[in-house]
Amino acid sequence: MAARDQHGPGAPWPEEGAPELAATNRSSAEGFRAVGQSMRKLEGLDKATGAAVYADDIKLPGMLHAKTLRSPHCHARIVRIDASKALALSGVHAVITGADLPTKYGVIPWTQDEHALALDKVRFIGDEVAAVAAIDEDTANAALKLIEVEYELLGAWLDPAESRQNQLTDERPAIHEGHKHGNISKRVELEFGDVEAAFEAADVVLENDFYFHSSTHAAIEPHCAVARESADGLLTLWSSTQITHYVQREVSRVLGVPQSRLRVIQPNLGGAFGGKSDPFSLEFVVCKLAQLTGRPVKMLWTREEVFYAHRGRHAMNMRYKSGVTKDGKLTGVSADILIDGGSYSSFGLVTTYYSGQLLTGPYDFPAYRFDSTRVFTNKPPCGPKRGHGSVQPRFAFEVQLDELSEAIGMDPIDLRRVNDVGEHTETVNGQRVTSNGFAACLDAVEEQSAWKERRGKLPAGHGLGVAGSMYISGTNYPIYPNDMPQAGIQLKVDRSGLVTAFTGGNDIGQGSSSVVRTVICEELGVDSADVRVVAADTDLCPVDLGAYSSRVTFMVGNATIDACRNLRKLICRGVAEEWGIDPSRVFLGRGEVFDTENRGNPKRNITTRRAFEIAEARCDTLGSTGSYNTPKLGGDYRGGSIGASPAYSFTAHVVEVLVDERTGMITVPNVWVAHDCGRALNPMLVAGQMEGSAYMGIVEALFEDHKVNRFGLHAGPSLLDYPLATSVDCPDLHALIVESIDPEGPYGAKEAGEGPLHPALPALSNAIFDAVGIRLRKLPFTPGKVLAALDEKRAREAASAEEAPSC
């Protein structure tokens, strides 16, 4: 049975005498040896020295290179494809089209609407139409130009508001013809409590429109996949994915290959951020081409192709209405959200729920309603990007909170304190909150930013802003319904002293394999050099659902503790037999094994390696498994389990900003990020995630814009036209770790990879208000928008000065 919360958050073998370590850190004080230590990432040196092997580094004998022909039209029917000239080109081994892979797929089983290659229709510029395998990339590219495709052009849907109106005509058929709701991808309406009464009870009610633009992940490694079929028909796929297990399921289904004959391996990954959490066309295509040609086949996407694959942050038009009493208590919140989904469903069903369901903390409000509609448009498909579905509503709501605090004359941090939902409680939509360190997060950013001394008192053009947020540590909703563990792990130990872990967890640079190592070091008392982690190889590793929804530390961490304790029982039993004592007397940790009731006996004080030998001799070959599954969670209503998490993380940011009123340009000198991660298993990695998140949020607000132009073309699918902040543009990031010690997390740990992004954008907007008195409710914050808002403000001030009585 999967062990969820039977371990408790404490150290495995707390020992007397530990308090002398209190000065170094809290974890040491509580008897931890490895937990709380800043250990270098497992693959850190390999990556830093260039030795790490990524998917594109894989070169196999006889390997072919594949390329994709993409649609130059944003909405069209495919009338005819003729690949005969391409096939005739010397060096071309195979050309495939939609008919070769006709089965639909999609990461969410209820909304499968994608084809590896378009079957009858193309839905955005860049949609995949055909693929070629050839002896080298140049030959494959040349062959693409020889494929003739005849299209019948259809009217394009580029405006999400038009898609929502859903007035389908013959000239402009629905993007997914036959879809039950036309161009409406998903609509969720939920109401908790009486919202209208809540607004009646409020002293101040504000209602405003907000806009969040689309942005993309821009992982430095472009997607790449390599497939090989062995002579006996075993298929191996190496792919830059963050969801090995779902890729295995979908490729198996579409190709008709049993899962037992398809091995999926994730090599080192150069970033993902949610952009590698769908099954992608290239994975199906290289497998099919490998089968057809009998040769290994590789496909590496160009940066431009990565922009078309997208699955980035959804653009959202949001209207928020919130009420507050004059002493700062929120009475109710209402939200209407239009979500531009692009051309396919991807995770859109979940996005639509998340856009409403994840707003109900860290603040308590007794009434809440939301109406979220995701629509299809003829643009690159949107999906999950770091902070999936909840970064946009969080932006709108946290700016509105700032406006409410201004309206009632309350400090914005105090307003947030007044409404703190607290720990061990339930939100208005029925989500169970356990540990909660939000108040400590607010305290930390308030103090470190010198908020009380500086906010509202800085010179013109210089300001501070605050925002808060809450995020999930995984959800109890597996993407396909099943009762099996969400995380499984296997350990192998032998006389060499080495402990090897086999985990399905995808290390995408966030450090999940390093978390496994820390847990093993803690539980078995071995040195970090004596731990190997084999990850994300479906032939070798037990199933794990993948790196998404910030589930890995919580779920894989708990599974690892489970496996370690099973293994420890075995080893202690062997040693106890050898010494003729009860197993409960055997201490195993910190590299030593001894009899707790006879510590002075040198024969009963041995190394861990010696203990492994004794146990291997007495208990046979050593190994264990462990797993994790969530408890039943969530509100008792349709969709109530989506967004229900075994634990929530909490974050507060204070952003410092400088606004140049002549140019409209914004500089962010400092961001203070306080994040409640439960317990920091590896503080260096936690701080890294916090810094990376804050950076990503600020950059999204200032520079990035995934724009589709009037032709339906991505406005600039390159890292020149889509600017990411360079080191000279990056704020100083101050990571302030808050530890609330969650009762169910591994040693009390929760997520740290996505939550810390959320407050960056609203805190920036709120800081701009403090600096120059303008409210920016529409992202991104370009200099032009700043200047326009300043003009508006001056005009307003001039008008009110004229109206003012002269005396």
Partner 1 sequence: MLRLPTFELHKPTTVAAALEAAAASGPATRFVAGGTDLLPNLKHEMIEADHLVSLAGIESLRGIRLDGDDLVIGPMTSLTDVASSELVQERAPALAQAAGVVAGPQHRNQGTLGGNVMLDTRCQWINQSYFWRSALGFCLKKDGTECHVIEGGKRCVAAVSNDSIAPLYTVGAKLVFQSLATPEMIAAGAPEGVQTRPVPVDALFKADGAYNKKVGLQELLTEIRIPALPAGHRGSYQKLRLRGSIDFPQLGIAARLDLDEAGVIVHADVVAIVVAARPVRVKKAPDQLVGQTPGTPGFEAALAELCDLATRSVKALPNIPGDTEWRQRMVPVLIEDAIRACV
Q: Shortest distance, CB of residue 725 to partner 1, whole angstroms?
A: 7
Applying CB under 8 A, among 85, 783, 790, 793 the residue interacting with partner 1 is 783
Q: Shortest distance, CB of residue 785 to partner 1, whole angstroms?
A: 9
Q: Shortest distance, CB of residue 306 to partner 1, whole angstroms?
A: 11
Cβ atoms of 387 and 755 closer than 8 Å: yes
Residues 6 or more apart whose CB falls under 8 angstroms from that of 128 comprise: 68, 69, 70, 71, 115, 116, 117, 118, 281, 285
Q: Does 70 bind partner 1 (CB under 8 A)?
A: yes
- In terms of CB distance, is 168 or 725 closer to partner 1? 725
Q: Shortest distance, CB of residue 218 to partner 1, whole angstroms?
A: 14
Distance separating alpha carbons of residues 787 and 55, to the nearest angstrom: 46
DSSP 133: E
- In terms of CB distance, is 70 or 228 closer to partner 1? 70
- In terms of CB distance, is 70 or 388 closer to partner 1? 70
Cβ atoms of 753 and 735 closer than 8 Å: no
CA distances from 212 to 465, 553, 627 (A): 19, 29, 39
- In terms of CB distance, is 110 or 711 closer to partner 1? 711
Q: Shortest distance, CB of residue 195 to partner 1, whole angstroms?
A: 38
CA distances from 467 to 206, 241, 401, 414, 494 (A): 18, 33, 9, 11, 51
Cβ atoms of 341 and 382 closer than 8 Å: yes
> Taking contact as CB under 8 A, which single stretch among the options 319-327, 425-433, 543-551, 777-785 is the one that binds partner 1?
777-785
- In terms of CB distance, is 300 or 736 closer to partner 1? 300
Q: Shortest distance, CB of residue 715 to partner 1, whole angstroms?
A: 7
CA distances from 17 to 21, 22, 31, 519 (A): 9, 10, 9, 22
Q: Shortest distance, CB of residue 75 to partner 1, whole angstroms?
A: 12
- In terms of CB distance, is 201 or 665 closer to partner 1? 665
Which H or E run includes 284? helix 281-293
Q: How many residues bind partner 1 (CB under 8 A)?
A: 36
- In terms of CB distance, is 497 or 716 closer to partner 1? 716
- In terms of CB distance, is 91 or 783 closer to partner 1? 783
Applying CB under 8 A, among 82, 120, 138, 597 the residue interacting with partner 1 is 138
Mapped onto helix, strand or coil, the DSSP state of residue 508 is: coil
Applying CB under 8 A, among 784, 800, 801, 806 the residue interacting with partner 1 is 784
Distance separating alpha carbons of residues 481 and 475, to the nearest angstrom: 13
- 319, β-bridge pairs: 209, 336
Diameter of the chain measured on Cα atoms:
99
Instruction: Work out the number of other CB atoms within 10 angstroms of the CB of residue 638.
Output: 9
Residues in contact with partner 1, shown as a per-residue x/- string from 78 to 117 under the rule CB under 8 A: ----------------------------------------
**Contacts to partner 1 from residues 219-258, by CB under 8 A:** 222
- In terms of CB distance, is 480 or 711 closer to partner 1? 711
Establish how many alpha carbons lie within 13 A of residue 707's alpha carbon, considering only the half-sphere containing its beta carbon: 13
Residues in contact with partner 1, shown as a per-residue x/- string from 317 to 336 under the rule CB under 8 A: --------------------
**Contacts to partner 1 from residues 7-46, by CB under 8 A:** none
Cβ atoms of 258 and 33 closer than 8 Å: no
Q: Shortest distance, CB of residue 723 to partner 1, whole angstroms?
A: 5
Distance separating alpha carbons of residues 120 and 275, to the nearest angstrom: 26
Residue 715: closest CA among 379, 383, 382:
379
Residues in contact with partner 1, shown as a per-residue x/- string from 690 to 729 under the rule CB under 8 A: ------------xx-------x-xxxxxx-xx-x-xx-xx
Residues 6 or more apart whose CB falls under 8 angstroms from that of 616 comprise: 493, 494, 495, 574, 622
Q: Shortest distance, CB of residue 699 to partner 1, whole angstroms?
A: 10
CA distances from 279 to 21, 274, 306, 309 (A): 47, 12, 13, 11
- In terms of CB distance, is 67 or 455 closer to partner 1? 67
Residue 548: closest CA among 273, 226, 175, 223:
273
DSSP letters for 140-160: HHHHHTT-EEEEEE------H
**Contacts to partner 1 from residues 569-588, by CB under 8 A:** none
- In terms of CB distance, is 304 or 371 closer to partner 1? 304
Phi-psi region of 8 (alpha: psi -120 to 50; beta: other; left: phi over 0): left
Q: Shortest distance, CB of residue 128 to partner 1, whole angstroms?
A: 12
Distance separating alpha carbons of residues 564 and 561, to the nearest angstrom: 5
Q: Does 773 bind partner 1 (CB under 8 A)?
A: no
Which H or E run includes 320? strand 315-324
Q: Shortest distance, CB of residue 113 to partner 1, whole angstroms?
A: 23
Q: Shortest distance, CB of residue 305 to partner 1, whole angstroms?
A: 9
Q: Shortest distance, CB of residue 126 to partner 1, whole angstroms?
A: 8
Residues 6 or more apart whose CB falls under 8 angstroms from that of 103 comprise: 115, 253, 254
Applying CB under 8 A, among 304, 406, 494, 616 the residue interacting with partner 1 is 304
- In terms of CB distance, is 507 or 705 closer to partner 1? 705
Residue type, 509: G
Applying CB under 8 A, among 302, 325, 448, 625 the residue interacting with partner 1 is 302
Q: Shortest distance, CB of residue 290 to partner 1, whole angstroms?
A: 22
Q: Does 300 bind partner 1 (CB under 8 A)?
A: yes
- In terms of CB distance, is 327 or 791 closer to partner 1? 791
Residue 612: closest CA among 635, 629, 588:
588
Residues 6 or more apart whose CB falls under 8 angstroms from that of 720 comprise: none
DSSP 643: T
Mapped onto helix, strand or coil, the DSSP state of residue 91 is: coil
Q: Shortest distance, CB of residue 798 to partner 1, whole angstroms?
A: 19
Q: Shortest distance, CB of residue 470 to partner 1, whole angstroms?
A: 32
Applying CB under 8 A, among 44, 72, 623, 743 the residue interacting with partner 1 is 72
Cβ atoms of 199 and 250 closer than 8 Å: no
- In terms of CB distance, is 125 or 593 closer to partner 1? 125
> Taking contact as CB under 8 A, which single stretch among the options 91-99, 459-467, 518-526, 778-786 is the one that binds partner 1?
778-786
> Taking contact as CB under 8 A, which single stretch among the options 20-28, 298-306, 495-503, 747-755 is the one that binds partner 1?
298-306
- In terms of CB distance, is 151 or 594 closer to partner 1? 151
Token representation of residue 231: 């002579």
Distance separating alpha carbons of residues 126 and 138, to the nearest angstrom: 20
**Contacts to partner 1 from residues 624-683, by CB under 8 A:** 662-665
- In terms of CB distance, is 434 or 782 closer to partner 1? 782
Q: Shortest distance, CB of residue 787 to partner 1, whole angstroms?
A: 6
Q: How many residues does the chain have?
A: 807
**Contacts to partner 1 from residues 727-746, by CB under 8 A:** 728-729
- In terms of CB distance, is 56 or 544 closer to partner 1? 56
Instruction: Summarize as ranges the residues that interact with partner 1 (CB under 8 A).
Output: 70, 72-73, 125, 137-138, 141, 222, 300, 302-304, 662-665, 702-703, 711, 713-718, 720-721, 723, 725-726, 728-729, 782-784, 787
